[in-house]
């Protein structure tokens, strides 16, 4: 994927996304000893960067494909993103979700016009349900993170950030399924001025960290993290990009995630997910490395259950 | 105070304040049946619109006055605003605060370089302590809301909002001491296109509502509201402006405040004080009146104790 792909993608999705604001905090800069620029994708439509990739993926379809709809399996933000993108474009979105998923997530998908398809809570059941919809309706399957068009879409957040701050030394994102960090790394490569991409990942789900070490896609045997958006694993489309363009993945503890989340809420005055705090926690953990640098941080999303805060 | 005063004030304080972003929510618009534009002063420096008035008041002083410092009595956002404004301008700020005030508020003042002066928790003790500082240091007393320069400063948030959205039909703010709504009403009068100013106030502290009815400044006998920024009463400088330029004050219940606060957190993804939610609650309470209109809402501040949320 070259520079022009990212430029074209951005132009294509602009009518469907917000160019989200960038916030700063004098106090957090003081704590970090660096200048941090927070790209607030919690203010994105439906509340997360996932809107970008979902919109791009649907916009790539032919008219016939659009008529037949799209399908994904997700119980997270991509479910809502695909639903809202599809609704904006008059396309049917089938969302496969385990029947055990929280009612609020099911309602959100329906609220954005998605067609909810419930299944058992196993990977096999989800894949079978998705395949059934592909066969029955001719719908196009769109993976939440392991899809070139999705990766490009997610990269536009970093592109917007670098358009405002072209001399960033680093851009840091959380790492879950790998779509955001792969897209961001492409944006940093093509639009940055020697800007390096770094990932933040919980110790509890450090599959991406281990994957970069071993050179193959690793999985997690347990997922005991508050950063519920980061439990997924890398895929064969985004992993090569990550290998090529991501400098390092920094792991953080659950305590560091919660402390950083509280900082973001108290000092930036934003409602954001624990996953976002992983990127800030990574910067605060390795202060010496980032000292005096200009660092962009992607705040990935803001869909939080206010009744279940860790503070 | 004429239009030019407000223009001059805005130019004067621009180097010391943020032009805060305006957020919108499709879902909240749908609930209100109107187009709402939220001016996010929770993202202002030190976390509230109070920074604007404090900066303007200090900038009006002579060099000799600046050398002698400023004093106010406040345990709220104005204490922090005066401290930070003074710090930015190399001026000493004496902050009189009851010794019973929360430690976090005392620490915040000290963090911004203010000189904390503790006293007993009565109005008399606060006024005496302030007067002592005026006499001892020659400091200038600056009232948090009943001061022309403060009123003008607070009005610049509304001015910025109208510069972005010149055709607002209404601008709605919470009403506490009256500085914000008076300044906003001046901005709407001078910079709006037939834009009306409306206040939101809790039933539990409806002194401003009663003052407009009776034609004189009323007080509260009790202050049982979650909107802790709104317990103060109007003053002789702002009340005449409010009488002349504010169309109405709408009262809301505590439940309505909490529900609106939750909406702001969940849908706008912002951390904001209960006081802010009073303005949204007023709009949602009187949907018929606001139907189809363009409405600016000033989100007044974001300094919240995350350990004591009402949800």
Choose the final residue of a domain: A141, A175, A199: A141
Kindly report, residue by residue over A127-144, the tens digit of the pLDDT: 999 999 999 999 999 999
Kindly report, residue by residue over A36-80, the tens digit of the pLDDT: 999 999 999 999 999 999 999 999 999 999 999 999 999 899 999
Residue-level pLDDT at B103: 87
Is B196 an annotated catalytic residue?
A: no
> Which residue in B66, B74, B75, B260 is the catalytic one?
B75
Q: Tell me whether residues A270 and B272 touch, CB distance under 8 A.
A: no
CA quadruple A123, A125, A131, A134: dihedral, nearest 10: -110
Residues B211 and B217: beta-carbon distance below 8 Å: yes
Q: Could you tell me if A68 and A40 lie in one domain? A: no
Q: Could you tell me if B128 and B156 lie in one domain? A: no
CA quadruple B268, B270, B274, B280: dihedral, nearest 10: -20
Starting at the edge strand found earlier in the chain, the sheet holding A70-73 runs: A115-119, A93-98, A70-73, A140-141
Kindly report, residue by residue over A220-257, the tens digit of the pLDDT: 999 999 999 999 999 999 999 999 999 999 999 999 99
Question: Distance (Å, rounded) from C-alpha B179 to C-alpha B110?
Answer: 24
pLDDT (average), residues B147-172: 98
Q: Could you tell me if A44 and A55 lie in one domain? A: no
Q: Which residues of B touch A265 (CB under 8 A)?
A: 271, 306
Residue-level pLDDT at A293: 98
Starting at the edge strand found earlier in the chain, the sheet holding B140-141 runs: B115-119, B93-98, B70-73, B140-141
B71-75, B213-217, B284-288: segment of lowest average pLDDT: B71-75
Give the pLDDT band of residue B57 (cuts 50, 70, 90): very high
CA distance B81 to chain A (A): 15
Q: Which residues of B touch A266 (CB under 8 A)?
A: 271, 304, 306
Question: Distance (Å, rounded) from C-alpha B88 to C-alpha A213?
Answer: 48
The position carrying tokens 């450090």 is A206
What is the model's pTM?
0.94
Q: Could you tell me if B96 and B236 lie in one domain? A: no
Choose the final residue of a domain: B141, B169, B201: B141
Query: Could you give the C-alpha distances from A78 to A92, A145, A157, A215, A279, in angstroms and in order?
Result: 15, 9, 16, 27, 20
User: For residue A236, is it left (φ>0), alpha (ψ between -120 and 50) or beta?
Assistant: alpha
CA distance B27 to chain A (A): 10
Kindly report, residue by residue over B80-117, the tens digit of the pLDDT: 999 999 999 999 999 999 998 888 889 999 999 999 99
Q: Could you tell me if B212 and B70 lie in one domain? A: no
Kindly report, residue by residue over B61-82, the tens digit of the pLDDT: 999 999 999 999 998 999 999 9
| Residue B103, token pair as written in the block | 């430690």
How many beta-carbon contacts under 8 Å exist across A and B? 44
Residue-level pLDDT at A103: 87
CATH number reported for the structural domain that contains residue A276 in this entry: 3.40.50.1100
Q: Could you tell me if A285 and A159 lie in one domain? A: yes
Is B88 an annotated catalytic residue?
A: no
Q: Name the residue among B303, B309, B308 with its Cα closest to residue B43.
A: B303
Q: Could you tell me if A83 and A112 lie in one domain? A: yes
CA quadruple A88, A89, A91, A97: dihedral, nearest 10: -40
Q: Which residues of B touch A311 (CB under 8 A)?
A: 306-307
**What's the number of domains chain A is made of?**
2
Residues B96 and B75: beta-carbon distance below 8 Å: no
Find the CB nearest A271 among B21, B26, B265. Answer: B265
Q: Could you tell me if B184 and B225 lie in one domain? A: yes
Residues B149 and B57: beta-carbon distance below 8 Å: yes
Give the pLDDT band of residue B162 (cuts 50, 70, 90): very high
pLDDT above 90: residue A123: no
Find the CB nearest A270 among B45, B269, B309. Answer: B269
Q: Name the residue among A293, A277, A288, A280 with its Cα closest to residue A196.
A: A293
Q: Could you tell me if A68 and A176 lie in one domain? A: no
pLDDT (average), residues B245-262: 98
Kindly report, residue by residue over B263-276, the tens digit of the pLDDT: 999 999 999 999 99
Q: Could you tell me if A225 and A125 lie in one domain? A: no
Q: Could you tell me if A16 and A161 lie in one domain? A: yes
Question: Distance (Å, rounded) from C-alpha B133 to C-alpha B156?
Answer: 30
3-state secondary structure of A236: coil
Kindly report, residue by residue over A255-311, the tens digit of the pLDDT: 999 999 999 999 999 999 999 999 999 999 999 999 999 999 999 999 999 988 998
Domain assignment of residue B60, given as a range: 51-141
pLDDT above 90: residue B190: yes
Q: Could you tell me if A239 and A155 lie in one domain? A: yes
Give the pLDDT band of residue A109 (cuts 50, 70, 90): very high
Residue-level pLDDT at B295: 98
Q: Which residues of A touch B265 (CB under 8 A)?
A: 271, 306
Choose the final residue of a domain: A141, A161, A182: A141
């Amino acid at each position: 994927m070259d520079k022009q792909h990212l430029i074209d993608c951005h132009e294509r999705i602009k009518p469907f996304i917000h160019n989200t604001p960038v916030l700063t905090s004098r106090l957090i800069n003081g704590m970090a000893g660096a200048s941090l620029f927070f790209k607030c994708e919690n203010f994105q439509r439906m509340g997360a960067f996932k809107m970008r990739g979902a919109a791009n993926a649907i916009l790539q379809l032919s008219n016939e494909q659009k008529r037949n709809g799209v399908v994904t399996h997700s119980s997270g933000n991509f479910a809502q993103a695909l639903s809202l993108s599809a609704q904006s474009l008059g396309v049917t979105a089938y969302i496969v979700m385990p029947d055990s998923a929280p009612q609020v997530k099911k309602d959100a998908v329906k609220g954005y016009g998605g067609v909810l398809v419930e299944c058992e809570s196993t990977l096999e059941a989800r894949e079978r349900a998705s395949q059934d919809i592909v066969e029955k309706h001719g719908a196009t399957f769109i993976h939440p993170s392991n899809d070139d068009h999705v990766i490009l879409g997610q990269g536009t957040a970093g592109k917007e950030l670098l358009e405002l701050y072209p001399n960033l030394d680093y851009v840091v994102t959380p790492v879950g399924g790998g779509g955001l960090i792969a897209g961001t790394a492409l944006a940093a490569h093509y639009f940055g001025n020697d800007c390096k991409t770094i990932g933040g990942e919980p110790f509890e789900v450090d599959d991406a960290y281990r994957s970069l070490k071993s050179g193959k896609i690793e999985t997690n045997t347990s997922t005991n993290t508050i950063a519920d958006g980061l439990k997924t694993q890398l895929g064969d489309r985004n992993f090569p990009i990550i290998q090529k363009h991501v400098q390092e993945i920094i792991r953080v503890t659950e305590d560091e995630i919660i402390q950083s989340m509280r900082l973001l809420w108290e000092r930036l005055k934003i409602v954001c997910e624990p996953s976002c705090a992983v990127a800030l926690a990574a910067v605060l953990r390795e202060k010496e490395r980032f000292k005096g640098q200009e660092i962009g941080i992607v705040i990935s999303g803001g869909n939080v259950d206010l009744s279940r805060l860790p503070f």
